[in-house]
Amino acid sequence: MHALSRRRFLKISAGSVAALGASGVISSGFVRRAGVAADSGTRTVPTFCDICFWKCGAIATVRDGQLWKIEGNPLDPLSRGRLCPRGTGGVGAHWDRDRLRTPLLRVSERGEDQWKAVTWDEALDHIASRMKKIKTEHGPESVALFSHGIGGTFLKHTLRAFGSPNSAAPSFAQCRGPRDTGFELTFGDGLGSPERTDIENARCLVLIGSHLGENMHNTQVQEFATAVQRNATVIVADPRFSVAASKAKHYLPVKPGTDLALLLGWMHVLVSERLYDTDYVEAYGHGFEEFCAEIAACTPEWAAAETGLSAESIRETAREMARHRPATLVHPGRRVNWYGNDAQRSRAIALINALLGSWGRKGGFYTPSILSVPDYPYPPYPEVAKAKVDNPNKRYPFAKDSLTTGIREATITGQPYPIKGWFVYATNLINALPNQEETIRAIQNLDLLVVIDVVPSEIAGWADVVLPESTYLERFEELHLGPFKQPFVGIRQPVVDAPHDQKPNWWIAKRLAEKLDLGHFYPWDDIEDYLRWRVEDAGLSYAELKQKGIILGDMEPLYFEDGVPPEFDTPSGKIEFYSEQLAEAGFDPVPRYTPPEEGPPGSFRLLFGRAPVHTFSRTQSNPLLNEMMDENELWLNAAVARQLQLKSGDRVRLRNQDGVTSNGIRVKATNRIRPDCVYMVHGFGHTAKGLRQTFGKGASTAQMVTRYKVDPLMGGTAVNVNFVTLETEN
């Protein structure tokens, strides 16, 4: 039963996943160390995965003292006992021979990558004295934190105790911020993570460049497989025939950057043919008439001319969506910072879901719940004298979260006030932020750059001090209280010891606070005192949590039809088809389409996405995942390839519109992509020499993203606006 369902799950991922074998368990035998085992026999430790931020519940097995394998925790509602291929290969993070081993202090110019090993005390004393100097000269707000993932929690606490409000993650401005803004403006609530999409119950699933099956977010991929088995209709709009497209009844090879026209065309059909959910719109909608007037000109014929699709296919797919409503889910996507109009495109996605009546309904968007676990009773943080630096005068009025790129800009300009110290935790800013040159320019203005990482990444190469963290398999963490269908609490706990002098984030944050004379902000001695306090104050058993890894809460109603009150936290208290707050701020109250800018003649728009076996730029040096995929390739339309006299396997370099040239990359000539764009997986083309396994392999998308367009509503940085030509590699 278990093996069967796992196979079904794997079937919809790409071919390379077959390397996992039927059991889905990768043996880590080939990297096992020789030597006498500390403990013999087999033991298991429940924890949760950190290879991406889905945080699947997992159970790790240790055999004869050695980390052996990791599998899904059947109690966990996210993983349901099955990890994705990356999670299964996660054990490789522990074995990676390129790991950072001890704290390092820079001994030459910034960026020259020359270091001396120091003790933790030396490193933290150095950091604390630089921080105190910045505080005296500029104020504590001039130290900022960049972090990604749950591991940043304690460092954020230390920075707040120090007096800085400035912290940001790339998951907002570089990822899902525009989407949450678009949905909040419409429904008064965002989507969160995991997204509140009820994929498994959808009768019709519409994916607009959400390439599920390559984008491996575990629960979503499992639910997608379930929906496909139940014969849900799948509609995919993507310039590239993705893995998801291969499951689709309707595949729409939309011209890149024109999705808003497609959405407006679809909505025109739903309204003009009165196929929308009239009761729902009447009960909950605000400004519907103004909305209808605005979209009156957006006929399928008009949308067809913009998108390169046929008017007939636009009509047919809109009717298909209407047939299955309200169980039609137009997926909001996740990395939606594509063209600079992304919050408005996301708002259009929210609006079409509103027309279909899917928000709050089964097979659409459910209402998540979260287990109530009290915060630890810390002393209050000091008053902050200066407001956050990243969005002065609310330049981006609908940014609900801090902007990484806003902090970077303040670091370059010194406005509205200077930023002189950066803490960078688990985010490779050189690869995550657009325009590497700007990131480096900001770094050159700093008095202190601390990077906390597990491997010598690109950003670590620019640091003044590098702190080596233990991997997720070697540490405790903040509790995981995911908002989901069923509320739960999950624990991460060490499976094995850190192999060298690596330390967990909580230890680093606490020790640094002590060095900054802020020890009273950590009234607990050990992380387990902290975790136990929180869990027991919620009336739960800490021993049970450690033993099971997960404690489930009671199910709450999920849908309006089950008793969830239909409440919309918008100014009108309703679903805003027409948005006065957008109009007042000088933006389109109903999304309006403008065509994307074209590239130079003869160039291709550069698109990118995910591979099932890698996460961003953080897994290429993992020996197990590297073995499954060690470089990326460039998808190029087969007819175009013939014209250029290129064939699959030929190596080319990309040159972008600003003359930046990439590493060599192999061509994949295929009919599965439009002729006006090329596509590659993000994360390869590492330039950090310490990443010996992966250095120089494949091409880097981040290097090619010299241009970006900022979303005027919320400050997201759109990156699908770069164009490349190809040069053969000699």
Ligand X SMILES: Nc1nc2c(c(=O)[nH]1)N[C@H]1C(S)=C(S)[C@@H](COP(=O)(O)OP(=O)(O)OC[C@H]3O[C@@H](n4cnc5c(=O)[nH]c(N)nc54)[C@H](O)[C@@H]3O)O[C@H]1N2
Contacts for 76 with CB less than 8 Å, ≥ 6 apart? 48, 56, 57, 58, 488, 490, 549, 550
Q: Residue 88 CB, nearest distance to ligand SF4 (Å)? A: 7
The site string for ligand X over 212-231 (x = CB under 6 A, - otherwise) reads: ---xxx--------------
Rounded Cα distance, 252 and 273, in Å: 21
Q: Residue 652 CB, nearest distance to ligand SF4 (Å)? A: 31
Q: Point out the residue whose Cβ comes nearest to Mo ion.
A: 175
Q: Tell me: does residue 432 bind ligand X (CB under 6 A).
A: yes
Rounded Cα distance, 124 and 510, in Å: 11
Interacting residues with Mo ion (CB under 5 A): 175, 335
Contact (Cβ atoms closer than 8 angstroms) between residue 356 and residue 321: yes
Residue closer to Mo ion, measured from CB, 47 or 337: 337
Q: Tell me: does residue 49 bind ligand X (CB under 6 A).
A: no
> Candidates 104-112, 307-315, 466-474, 644-652 — which segment interacts with ligand X by CB under 6 A?
466-474
Locate the DSSP E strands across 101-243: 104-106, 115-117, 143-147, 167-168, 204-208, 233-237
Q: Residue 222 CB, nearest distance to ligand SF4 (Å)? A: 10
Q: Point out the residue whose Cβ comes nearest to ligand SF4.
A: 87
Residue closer to ligand X, measured from CB, 68 or 154: 154
Q: Tell me: does residue 268 bind ligand X (CB under 6 A).
A: no
Binding partner of residue 616 among ligand X, ligand SF4, Mo ion, none, CB under 5 to 8 Å per kind? ligand X
Residue closer to ligand X, measured from CB, 75 or 343: 343
Q: Point out the residue whose Cβ comes nearest to ligand X.
A: 209
Binding partner of residue 218 among ligand SF4, ligand X, Mo ion, none, CB under 5 to 8 Å per kind? ligand SF4
Interacting residues with ligand SF4 (CB under 6 A): 49, 51-52, 54-56, 83-84, 86-87, 216-218
Choose among 9, 155, 165: nearest CA to 82: 9
Q: Tell me: does residue 718 bind ligand X (CB under 6 A).
A: no
Placement of tokens 């007042």 in the chain: 584
Q: How far apart are the first and last CA of the chain?
A: 52
Q: Residue 618 CB, nearest distance to ligand SF4 (Å)? A: 10
Positions in 589-628 near ligand X (CB under 6 A)? 607-612, 614-618
Q: Tell me: does residue 406 bind ligand X (CB under 6 A).
A: no
- Residue 253 exposure: Cα atoms within 13 Å on the Cβ side: 11
Q: Residue 67 CB, nearest distance to ligand SF4 (Å)? A: 16
Residue closer to Mo ion, measured from CB, 175 or 463: 175
Choose among 467, 433, 435: nearest CA to 449: 467
Element (H, E) at 138: helix 120-138
Contact (Cβ atoms closer than 8 angstroms) between residue 492 and residue 502: no
Structure tokens at 225: 């497989």
Q: Residue 549 CB, nearest distance to ligand SF4 (Å)? A: 13
Structure tokens at 411: 């670091």
Q: Residue 372 CB, nearest distance to Mo ion (Å)? A: 28
Q: Residue 619 CB, nearest distance to ligand SF4 (Å)? A: 9
Binding partner of residue 240 among ligand SF4, ligand X, Mo ion, none, CB under 5 to 8 Å per kind? ligand X
Q: Phi and psi dihedrals of 379, rounded to 5?
A: -65, 155
Residue closer to ligand X, measured from CB, 492 or 574: 492
Q: Residue 336 CB, nearest distance to Mo ion (Å)? A: 9
Binding partner of residue 55 among ligand X, ligand SF4, Mo ion, none, CB under 5 to 8 Å per kind? ligand SF4
Q: What angle do helix axes 505-515 and 527-537 make, rounded to 10 degrees?
A: 110
Q: Tell me: does residue 455 bind ligand X (CB under 6 A).
A: yes
Rounded Cα distance, 192 and 334, in Å: 10
Choose among 476, 418, 429, 473: nearest CA to 451: 429
Q: Phi and psi dihedrals of 259, rounded to 5?
A: -60, -30
Binding partner of residue 239 among ligand X, ligand SF4, Mo ion, none, CB under 5 to 8 Å per kind? ligand X
| 176: DSSP letter | I
Rg over alpha carbons for the chain, rounded to the nearest Å, is 25
Instruction: List the one residue from 679, 684, 708, 723 that touches ligand X (CB under 6 A).
Output: 679
Residue closer to ligand SF4, measured from CB, 55 or 106: 55
Q: Tell me: does residue 242 bind ligand X (CB under 6 A).
A: yes
Contacts for 558 with CB less than 8 Å, ≥ 6 apart? 198, 362, 366, 367, 485, 564
Q: Tell me: does residue 209 bind ligand X (CB under 6 A).
A: yes
Contact (Cβ atoms closer than 8 angstroms) between residue 673 and residue 635: yes
Question: β-pairing, 651-656 with 661-670?
Answer: antiparallel
Binding partner of residue 49 among ligand X, Mo ion, ligand SF4, none, CB under 5 to 8 Å per kind? ligand SF4
Contacts for 159 with CB less than 8 Å, ≥ 6 apart? 143, 144, 145, 166, 167, 423
Binding partner of residue 333 among Mo ion, ligand X, ligand SF4, none, CB under 5 to 8 Å per kind? ligand X
Binding site for ligand X (CB under 6 A): 50, 52, 86, 148, 151, 170-171, 174-175, 208-211, 215-217, 237-240, 242, 254, 256-257, 259, 333-335, 338, 425-428, 431-432, 452-455, 457, 469, 471-472, 607-612, 614-618, 679, 682, 701-702, 705, 719-720
